[in-house]
Amino acid sequence: MSPLLPLFLLLLTGPVVCHENCSHMAIINHLGLTSQKDLFTLGRPVKNITSVLIVQIDFRLEAILDVREIEQTFISYNSIDIAWTNDHISWKKKDFCQVERITIPSELLWKPDFRILEVVDKDKTPSSPYLVVRNNGDVTMKNDQVVMSTCKMNVFKFPFDTQSCNLSIKSFIHSIDEIEIENIGSDETVRDSIEEAMHTQYEWLFQEIKITHTWSKAMEKNQSMIVYTLSMRRRSILYVVNFILPVLFFLVLDFASFLMSALNSDKLGFKITILLAVTVLQLLLNEILPSSSDRIPLIAIFCIGVFWLMKLSLLETIVIMYLLRQDEKRLKTGEKTGVENVLCCVSAQHLAKEASTPVDRGSDVDRLAQELSESVGGGSEQETGYWASRIDRINRVFLLVYSVLTALFLITIFLIWLH
């Protein structure tokens, strides 16, 4: 056999590949993660202890689950990918069938000790049990969380309000000289990725995200921190339909009550019923808005203003009914009003001084009394009463003033609301 035959066959078949090195286990054994796994979980994975470990975060808001105004909490579903470089692990792809990345159990390697400062309830979402490791030592940890965090609500313009809630991520114990946190991507790229990944928004619509790199002081050391400020806008259509419009409808009914006769005894009961309906809506509003608000919300001012306008209308109706009853009493007893009595006395005294004889004084006094009775009350007013003949004029003047006050109040409220 020719000695060149084996070489010829080797060229035909290509290089000999060891299939035992084409598995993830081979790489794990090569790295020593099984035999020396405790060493890889101790301390920061840097070769020089004075080096700063750069940890990158890729944050995405997946869903806005709930915003609770009374509890001042914000519930969100977030996807947080954390990446760093472990200086103690690496391999050459050519030695392991060009394998570039492997997945290993998360307990085999050191992981950053990150937390969200605003969290008020423990996350019940199970974390990923694996880490993704690349041949150059880059490690990625994927973590999806349902986060209930504190968020100070500004409900002054409720339900046309926008809220901004912070999610601040930092290390438990590492200082800024040991771990520095960076975000992957700019504000615009993160916003675009959130809009693409957003599953559901329920009552709230995501608007903007602002990313701030800062630091905080703990245990007498400065710690690197990254703050995600999420801006959301409330869907206000349901509150407009179910709350604001009914209040305006009741106000329109109150205006319609001016078409009812002042002599109608049901008018007072009608106005009281409308007033009670607005009171019920105001009680429902108290169950929605937080009691810790710095300023009185505009919707509360709106309800209180409408309530007092309708109360003013009710008081006008009560005064009108009181005056009509006074007319009824006077017509039954035949008494004159205070205005009539004063005018009669003054005019009688004046004529008495000018009369030349006692007989003339008496006849002039009787004549003056009759003229004053006709001029002050008139023939028809003796039958209907003094105030009854003036009710229409009083109602017209009050309706004009009432309309102007209502228009000014509503225009002011809605301009501030929608500004």
- List the alpha helices (DSSP H) in 287-390: 298-333, 338-354, 358-376, 378-384
What CATH number is attached to the domain comprising 227?
A: 2.70.170.10
Give yes or no: residues 140 and 213 share one domain: yes
Number of independent structural domains in the chain: 2
CA-wise closest residue to 180 among 226, 224, 124: 224
166 and 257 belong to one structural domain: no
Domain that holds residue 170: 52-85+110-235
Please state, as a whole number, how many other Cβ atoms lie within 10 Å of the Cβ of residue 244: 19
Give per-residue pLDDT as tens, 217-231.
877 789 999 999 999
Phi, psi of 336, deg, nearest 5: -100, 160
**Can you tell me the mean pLDDT for 102-118?**
89
Q: Would you state the pLDDT for residue 138?
A: 94
* CATH number (domain holding residue 408): 1.20.58.390
**pLDDT > 60? residue 10:** no
- pTM higher than 0.85: no
Whether 297 maps to a domain, the answer reads yes
Confidence of residue 378 (pLDDT cuts 50, 70, 90): very low
Kindly state whether residue 127 falls inside one of the protein's structural domains: yes
Q: Is 313 found in the same domain as 331?
A: yes
Q: Which residue, of 220, 235, 250, is where some domain finishes?
A: 235
Poorest-pLDDT segment among 263-277, 365-379, 399-413 = 365-379
My answer on whether 59 and 171 are in the same domain is: yes
Provide the strand spans (E) within 50-150.
53-68, 73-85, 101-105, 114-116, 119-121, 130-134, 138-150
Could you give the residue ranges of the DSSP H alpha helices within 15-119?
Answer: 24-31, 37-40
Q: Are both 56 and 171 inside the same structural domain?
A: yes
Residue 34 lies in a domain: no
Residues 195 and 280 in one domain: no
Q: In whole angstroms, how large is the CA radius of gyration of the chain?
A: 42
Do 134 and 281 lie in one domain? The reply is no
In a domain, 263, yes or no: yes
pLDDT in tens, 164-210: 999 999 998 889 999 999 999 889 999 999 988 887 777 899 999 99
Contact present, 133 and 105 (Cβ < 8 Å):
no
